[in-house]
Amino acid sequence: MRLALLFSGQGGQNVAHWQQVQAGIDGELGAAIVQAVPGIAEPIATVNPEKLAKNKIAQPLIFAQQMLLWAQLQSRLPQPICAAGYSLGEMAACCAAGAFTAADGVALCVERAAEMDGAVSGEYGMLAVLGLDEVLVAGLAEEAGLAVAIRNAPRHLVVAGPRAGIATVAGKFEAAGASRLVHLSVYTPSHTPLLAAAAANFRQRLDFLPDRRLAFPVLSAIDASVARSARPALDALARQICTPLDWGACLQTVREMQPDAVLEIGPGNALARLFSELAPDIPARACDDFRSPEGIVHWLETGRR
């Protein structure tokens, strides 16, 4: 069976994912998780959505949740034909393919978050815009001091920049006929030139990692280029911090690799739904759709519908 993996980015995390990571702190990754995720041992009552949205918590938390799931699934799944990660999820895609260990990845996520937070000051955000042409969205975004950060589909874009600019342009998108606007729970101008310094600093950190053959190809979320060894995958991992993502091209490349099934690992099921819109003939589900890893394995073994 030809299996493709998609790893979620930020925005879909909630208290249930916090609990999943808490349950893993007695395992192999426990020490790294406790050190990386502030307050992970605290009672659930102290956790709120605003806390989970902060980069310094969200990035290591989501990565840890993905790697804990992958550790439970890896030996029970067929070797993937490829993996791709949405924004932060590219960290997990690279790790799952063997570019670095899970423990190293947790620490790298802490550094990634710190670099991104330190590169800008003020209030920033990201806004998903559906139903408008890309040229129109890009033009209105630029007028408001924003930039297109992610292209999910031809009429499904994400813009990023100062929150004041997002507040200004949201009404213009509505007036232009946007079918939907979604304010994402991300408070940094990811994938825009504003984070060029963060990308450069993170690249220096990744340069210390050795090159090696990956267990399976990793697609860059920037342009869907295929990396079969660690060095090009790591270079793309640094560059995507300040470079717009063409996630639509990434999904199209996954489709062209002709998987029998696509599994999203991480919080939410947005990536599985996007893939299903593109390729309704290929079964795609998210781990969050299931109650346990056993349910995921059963789905893949019994018809995938």
Task: Give residue-wise pLDDT tens across range 181-206.
Answer: 999 989 999 999 999 999 999 999 99
Rounded Cα–Cα distance for residues 213 and 228 (Å):
6
pLDDT, residue 47, reads 85
Rounded Cα–Cα distance for residues 105 and 118 (Å):
20
User: What is the token pair recorded at 64?
Assistant: 């840890």
Question: pTM value?
Answer: 0.96
Question: Quick one: which H or E segment has residue 296?
Answer: helix 293-301
CA angle (187, 189, 191) in 5-degree steps = 130
Name the CATH code of domain 124-183 (choices 1.10.10.10, 3.30.70.250, 3.40.1550.10, 1.10.357.10). Answer: 3.30.70.250
Residues facing 285 on adjacent strands: 263
- The pLDDT of 293-301, averaged and rounded, is 94
Say whether 126 sits in a helix, a strand or coil. strand
CATH topology for 3-119+193-301 is: Malonyl-Coenzyme A Acyl Carrier Protein; domain 2 (3.40.366)
Angle of the 55-73 helix axis to the 293-301 helix axis, nearest 10 = 50
Distance of CA 184 to the CA centre of its chain: 13
Task: Say if CB 5 and CB 83 are below 8 A apart.
Answer: yes
Query: pLDDT band at 72, cuts 50/70/90?
Result: very high
Judging by beta carbons within 10 Å of its beta carbon (0-12, 13-18, 19+), is residue 199 exposed, middle or buried?
A: buried
List the domain boundaries for the chain: 3-119+193-301, 124-183
